[in-house]
């Protein structure tokens, strides 16, 4: 499937949200892959545009993508497009009439919407644009409230809000097919969630992660750093069975201090299971338990269809792992047994990622996906910093900027090989040793943002909000 093709094939127009630009193409590819479809952008394809033309798809493919996407706003069957009104008209006149007529019948009702990107039009200008479409053979009656068919004229005035042209760069006209799942961002907002913590993952990003992971009904999904279970909430929404672990007893058992203002202690039933119950997906809750991700407790073998997680960065919570006194001080000479008193030790970021990738290589089913966040100090970032594993292939790497000098990258990997035979090669190959520079992220993060941002100015409120979203 190519995003562009000749005049003969049916085209669909995807109208995309403009707040998660980097995540959109991997999401579309993952959702098409769930239907056994591929997506190869052509050279003319502009990834940053809010409008993408898609070819070679069936309407069912498009509906299926829209039933999952949080990056896509709406999809249309594209009837015509052009750089000017005249070009649009000739393109519409070329569209096969037999593809239009089922939607223009006398006994049906319809309405036409006008949508403009990066420009607001006066009501009279909108009406004028609708009137200019009078050459189309609409036979039915207009119904603004409950039409059988909805059509849309979409105009693209570019991406620069400081340089809005008089005329649009491109105009599209099509039949509305379906809306995406933007509503989930509101309905699953952590603001209204029963159980939350300081680092609960934003609802929109949680759904994007589940989509990048190709989570589907009846999958088994695991989050090794589960926290308050935001990622489990998103995965269970798509019908996957979910489980997780966290080193923090209070989080797993929903006790201790509350994260909400005006509330001192967590109330009864403030836990992950209750979160799933809130959204009607409790039947997909397997369980969560207190466990240290650096010492996995799982039996050998491929257990999980997806591993999706937000590891601790050590900003708002420390990166910890369990240890024993033996690992820290040499035991006294007369001490014969092992200490079983767990103590907390530093868990370096590079070790967290090495352990996570190794765990995924061993415990994902073949073709299963690992989706996780990697914190980045932007001035030093290069692609080589992304941890690799010989059994996992990198599918996508999307940036979410947090401040002028920090960001996090959403890394998606897919299991392509069984690990056993690669273990020795893995140890010898420097490409697969975890990048030690990750360990200094915390110091750089703090030194860079104490009061000012990297440009020497006060942080913007968006930067402050973004920083609050990471720990």
Residues that bind ligand SAM (CB under 6 A): 197, 199-201, 224-225, 227-228, 230-231, 245-248, 251, 292-294, 310, 312, 317, 319-321, 347, 471
320 by DSSP, 3-state: which?
strand
**Closer residue to ligand SAM, CB minimum distance, 13 or 360:** 360
> CB of 227: closest distance to ligand SAM in angstroms?
3
**Closer residue to ligand SAM, CB minimum distance, 118 or 406:** 406
Residue 307 contacts by C-beta under 8 Å, 6 or more apart in sequence?
221, 222, 223, 224, 356, 359, 360, 363, 364, 368, 369, 370, 371, 372
> CB of 159: closest distance to ligand SAM in angstroms?
32
> CB of 337: closest distance to ligand SAM in angstroms?
25
**Closer residue to ligand SAM, CB minimum distance, 211 or 251:** 251
**Closer residue to ligand SAM, CB minimum distance, 220 or 226:** 226
**Closer residue to ligand SAM, CB minimum distance, 180 or 227:** 227
**Closer residue to ligand SAM, CB minimum distance, 65 or 293:** 293
> CB of 82: closest distance to ligand SAM in angstroms?
45
**Closer residue to ligand SAM, CB minimum distance, 112 or 288:** 288
Neighbouring C-beta atoms of residue 433, cutoff 10 Å: 14
**Closer residue to ligand SAM, CB minimum distance, 112 or 203:** 203
Residue 462 contacts by C-beta under 8 Å, 6 or more apart in sequence?
none
> CB of 353: closest distance to ligand SAM in angstroms?
12
DSSP H or E run through 350: helix 349-363
Instruction: Kindly report the backbone phi and psi dihedral angles of residue 220, in degrees, each rounded to the nearest multiple of 5, phi listed first.
Output: -115, 120
> CB of 431: closest distance to ligand SAM in angstroms?
25
Tell me the residue number closest to ligand SAM, measured at CB: 227
- Of 249, 240, 201, 197, the C-alpha closest to 222 is 240
- What would the two tokens of residue 173 be? 């006209």
Q: In this structure, what DSSP letter does residue 227 have?
A: T
> CB of 259: closest distance to ligand SAM in angstroms?
10
Q: In this structure, what DSSP letter does residue 432 have?
A: G
Q: How far is CA 60 from CA 35, 52, 65, 214, 405, in A?
A: 10, 18, 9, 18, 43
Residue 55 contacts by C-beta under 8 Å, 6 or more apart in sequence?
1, 2, 3, 4, 5, 9, 10, 11, 12
| CB 218 within 8 Å of CB 286 | no
> CB of 252: closest distance to ligand SAM in angstroms?
9
Rounded distance, CA 161 to CA 332, Å?
69
């Amino acid at each position: 499937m190519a995003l562009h093709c000749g005049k003969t094939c049916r085209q669909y127009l995807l109208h995309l949200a403009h707040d998660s630009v980097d995540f959109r193409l991997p999401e579309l590819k993952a959702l098409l892959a769930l239907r056994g479809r591929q997506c190869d952008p052509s050279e003319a394809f502009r990834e940053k545009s809010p409008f993408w033309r898609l070819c070679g798809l069936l309407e069912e493919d498009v509906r299926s993508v829209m039933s999952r996407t949080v990056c896509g706003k709406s999809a249309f069957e594209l009837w015509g497009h052009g750089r000017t009104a005249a070009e649009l008209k000739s393109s519409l006149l070329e569209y096969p009439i037999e593809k239009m007529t089922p939607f223009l019948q006398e006994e049906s009702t319809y309405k036409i919407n006008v949508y403009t990107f990066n420009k607001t039009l006066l009501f009279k200008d909108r009406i004028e644009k609708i009137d200019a479409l009078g050459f189309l053979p609409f036979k039915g009656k207009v119904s603004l409230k409950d039409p059988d068919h909805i059509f849309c004229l979409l105009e693209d005035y570019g991406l620069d809000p400081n340089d809005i042209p008089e005329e649009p760069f491109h105009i599209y006209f099509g039949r509305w097919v379906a809306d995406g799942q933007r509503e989930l961002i509101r309905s699953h907002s952590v603001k209204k969630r029963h159980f939350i913590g300081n680092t609960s993952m934003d609802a929109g990003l949680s759904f994007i992660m589940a989509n990048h992971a190709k989570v589907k009904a009846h999958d088994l999904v695991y989050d090794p750093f589960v926290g308050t279970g935001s990622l489990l909430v998103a995965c269970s929404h798509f019908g996957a069975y979910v489980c997780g672990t966290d080193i923090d007893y209070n989080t797993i058992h929903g006790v201790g201090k509350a994260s909400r203002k005006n509330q001192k202690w967590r109330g009864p039933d403030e836990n992950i299971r209750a979160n799933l119950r809130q959204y009607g997906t409790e039947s997909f809750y397997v369980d969560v338990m207190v466990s240290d991700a650096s010492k996995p407790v799982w039996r050998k073998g491929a257990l999980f269809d997806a591993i999706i997680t937000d590891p601790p960065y050590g900003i708002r919570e420390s990166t910890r792992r369990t240890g024993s006194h033996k690992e820290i001080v040499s035991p006294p000479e007369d001490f014969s047994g092992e200490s079983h008193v767990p103590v907390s030790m530093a868990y370096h970021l590079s070790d967290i990622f090495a352990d996570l990738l190794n765990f995924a290589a061993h415990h994902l089913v073949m073709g299963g996906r690992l989706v996780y966040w990697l914190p980045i100090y932007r001035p030093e970032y290069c692609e080589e910093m992304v941890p690799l594993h010989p059994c996992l292939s990198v599918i996508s790497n999307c940036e979410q900027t947090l401040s002028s000098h920090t960001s996090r990258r959403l890394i998606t990997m897919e299991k392509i090989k069984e690990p056993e035979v690669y273990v020795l090669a893995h140890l010898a190959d420097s490409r697969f040793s975890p990048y030690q520079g990750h360990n200094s992220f915390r110091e750089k993060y703090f030194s860079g943002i104490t009061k000012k941002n990297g440009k020497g100015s006060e942080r913007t409120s968006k930067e402050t909000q973004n920083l609050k979203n990471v720990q």
